[in-house]
């Protein structure tokens, strides 16, 4: 029966089939197997690094991956990434340096989330991603190399720690900004930074998530220059400020 269904109709049907059903469809015939694998491997979000073994050994499956999120350390990650030629969204939870990790990768990203320090390899990679529109950068390294104005020309969504914002936002059309801060960083010397660096964006800020302590010292005229363009504002209050009000709720996790 499945062999008589046009491929385009079959693909539409498979979009509504659960994982168990897709695995069974892989056993029907070659066409059903190929179409089912397209859905099974399109988005991978895993805490289990065993998926990396599959993607290293089976390049035909790796080519189907569009979204890849790995929340575990994997020594063969560089090999995995080189096989993900069709990748558009990448999220890596592993921390540290990425020396040579992106070398040889041919994919063109639209979204990147990582905890890595920007070493020479990652710097070069970012400069090769003109289509990247969303960047979530979680490294706390205070020494980030200056990014050329030609790097990330289409960046519109940015999440980063407070002291890193100017380097990423300057001259780029960022309109959705999340400024991260944690209680342990409140006593860190950030220099003379005010929130006036938001005007460094080449586009108006429409959405802003920001910790209370970073807005507090900002002069009113600067806030006034930002406010007219905002359509969404979320203030994040450190626990020590909200505890007296007995506010309860789940913790906020910015990593997606």
Of 10-19, 21-30, 138-147, 161-170, the range with the lowest mean pLDDT is 138-147
What average pLDDT does the segment 217-243 reach? 64
pTM: 0.81
Is residue 250 scored above 60 in pLDDT?
Answer: no
What average pLDDT does the segment 235-250 reach? 47
Of the pLDDT bands very low, low, confident and very high (cuts 50, 70, 90), residue 117 is: confident
What average pLDDT does the segment 3-28 reach? 87
For 16, the token pair is 């509504």
Torsion of CA 73, 75, 81, 82, to 10 degrees: 180
Residue 204 CB-half CA count within 13 A? 11
Of the pLDDT bands very low, low, confident and very high (cuts 50, 70, 90), residue 71 is: confident
Distance from C-alpha of 139 to C-alpha of 137, rounded to nearest angstrom: 6
Q: Look at residue 122 in the predicted model and tell me its pLDDT.
A: 87
Is residue 200 scored above 70 in pLDDT?
Answer: yes
Distance from C-alpha of 233 to C-alpha of 180, rounded to nearest angstrom: 14
In a 10 Å sphere around its CB, with 0-12 CB exposed, 13-18 middle and 19+ buried, how is residue 62 labelled?
Answer: buried
Q: Look at residue 166 in the predicted model and tell me its pLDDT.
A: 87
What average pLDDT does the segment 38-51 reach? 91
Reported as a single tens digit per residue, the pLDDT across 134-156 is: 999 988 766 677 888 899 999 99
What average pLDDT does the segment 248-256 reach? 37
Of the pLDDT bands very low, low, confident and very high (cuts 50, 70, 90), residue 216 is: low
Is residue 158 scored above 90 in pLDDT?
Answer: yes
């Amino acid at each position: 029966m499945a062999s008589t269904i046009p491929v385009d109709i079959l693909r539409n049907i498979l979009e509504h089939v659960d994982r168990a059903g897709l695995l069974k469809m892989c056993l029907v015939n070659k066409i059903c197997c190929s179409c089912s694998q397209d859905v099974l491997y399109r988005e991978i979000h895993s805490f289990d690094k065993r998926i990396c073994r599959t993607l290293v050994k089976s390049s035909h499956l790796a080519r189907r991956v569009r979204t890849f999120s790995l929340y575990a350390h994997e020594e063969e990650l560089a090999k995995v990434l080189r096989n993900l030629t069709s990748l558009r969204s990448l999220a890596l939870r592993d921390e540290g340096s990425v020396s040579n990790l992106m070398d040889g990768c041919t994919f063109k990203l639209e979204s990147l989330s990582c905890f890595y320090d920007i070493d020479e390899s990652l710097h070069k990679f970012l400069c090769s991603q003109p289509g990247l529109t969303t960047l979530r950068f979680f490294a706390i390294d205070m020494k980030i190399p200056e990014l050329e104005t030609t790097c990330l020309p289409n960046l519109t969504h940015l999440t980063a720690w407070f002291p890193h914002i100017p380097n990423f936002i300057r001259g780029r059309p960022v309109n959705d900004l999340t400024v991260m801060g944690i209680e342990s960083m409140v006593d860190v010397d950030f220099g003379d930074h005010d929130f006036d660096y938001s005007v460094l964006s080449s586009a108006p800020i429409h959405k802003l998530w920001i910790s209370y302590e970073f807005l507090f010292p900002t002069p009113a005229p600067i806030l006034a220059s930002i406010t007219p363009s905002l359509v969404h504002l979320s203030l994040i209050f450190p626990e020590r400020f909200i505890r007296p009000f007995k506010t309860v709720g789940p913790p906020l996790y910015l990593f997606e």
